[in-house]
């Protein structure tokens, strides 16, 4: 099996704590040793140093926009764009693009929550590859209009430890999938992987296990 790696929450050092210059992300990249990944970046968290580093094209990184501020629209709502008019939603997406300053077709909604207005705004702003949340089946990317790229439940979690009662660590499921046919999305969170140290032991384990089974987003989507 081949795998594409999606890593959410670039721009945070821990949940809600900014990593404006992407210092933590750079350490994550050291652990990746150049293997490809989709980096879901929170635009509002970046400062000029963080943008400069992204513009230097770090090896293996495909940039995705991860919402704007990665904040809930209201208490109890896991969607940053909930309740917005189409005009306001597009304005917020455009503001996020200006904050990111890196052209991309890829978008990852915070908490994987999309609305019809958000989907239309993203298409109008040139982002037509939408990475979605967890599905119980390993589904291929599909869709008319946006290309919808779902995650697969067994491969959504932390590499070496449980982050919740619903998640199993990848170490318990991934080795059994290596010789299976096809391809799949692995979804990590940079803040989850940093909970056991900024040397990222889970990421180092992952790349040692997978090696050239890790493919770029272009290869996966093709």
Cβ–Cβ < 8 Å for 6, 37: yes
Cβ–Cβ < 8 Å for 44, 96: yes
Question: How far, in Å, are 23, 25, 36 from residue 29 at the CA level?
Answer: 10, 6, 10
**C-alpha dihedral (195, 161, 136, 16), degrees to nearest 10:** -10
pTM of this prediction? 0.96
| pLDDT tens digit sequence for 1-48 | 999 999 999 999 998 899 999 999 999 999 999 999 999 999 999 999
Q: Terminal CA-to-CA distance of the chain, rounded, Å?
A: 15
> How buried is 22 (Cβ within 10 angstroms: 0-12 exposed, 13-18 middle, 19+ buried)?
buried
Its CATH class, for the domain covering 2-221, is alpha beta
195: tokens are: 């909970």
Q: How would you write 148-199 as a 3-class SS string? A: EEEEEHHHECCCCCCCCCCCCCHHHHCHHHCCCCCEEEEEEEHHHHHHHCCC
Query: What integer pLDDT is reported at residue 194 of this predicted model?
Result: 96
Q: Is 142 helix (H, G, I), strand (E, B) or coil?
A: strand
Structure confidence at residue 151 as a pLDDT band (50, 70, 90): very high
| pLDDT tens digit sequence for 165-198 | 878 999 999 999 999 999 999 999 999 999 999 9
Q: Is 117 helix (H, G, I), strand (E, B) or coil?
A: helix
Domain ranges in the chain?
A: 2-221
Query: What integer pLDDT is reported at residue 164 of this predicted model?
Result: 82
| pLDDT tens digit sequence for 47-102 | 999 999 999 999 999 999 999 999 877 776 778 998 899 999 999 999 999 999 99
Q: How far apart are CA 39 and CA 123, in angstroms?
A: 20
> How buried is 188 (Cβ within 10 angstroms: 0-12 exposed, 13-18 middle, 19+ buried)?
buried
- Given a cut of 90, whether residue 117 has pLDDT beyond it is yes
């Amino acid at each position: 099996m081949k795998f594409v790696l999606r890593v959410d929450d670039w721009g945070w050092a821990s949940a809600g704590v900014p990593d404006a210059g992407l210092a933590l992300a750079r350490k994550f990249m050291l652990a990746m040793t150049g293997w490809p990944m989709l980096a879901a970046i929170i635009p509002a968290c970046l400062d000029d140093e963080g943008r400069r580093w992204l513009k230097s094209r770090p090896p293996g990184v495909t940039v995705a926009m991860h919402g704007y501020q990665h904040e809930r629209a209201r208490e109890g709502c896991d969607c940053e764009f909930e309740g917005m008019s189409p005009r306001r939603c597009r304005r917020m997406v455009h503001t996020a693009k200006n904050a990111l300053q890196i052209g991309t077709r890829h978008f990852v909604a915070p908490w994987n929550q999309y609305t019809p207005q958000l989907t239309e705004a993203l298409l109008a702003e040139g982002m037509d590859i939408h990475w979605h949340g967890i599905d119980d089946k390993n589904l291929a990317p599909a869709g008319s209009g946006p290309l919808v790229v779902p995650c697969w439940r067994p491969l959504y979690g932390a590499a070496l430890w449980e982050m919740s009662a619903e998640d199993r660590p990848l170490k318990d499921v991934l080795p059994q999938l290596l010789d299976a046919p096809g391809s799949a999305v692995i979804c990590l969170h940079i803040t989850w992987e940093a909970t056991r140290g900024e040397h990222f032991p889970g990421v180092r384990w992952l790349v040692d296990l997978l090696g050239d089974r890790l493919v770029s987003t272009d290869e996966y989507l093709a």
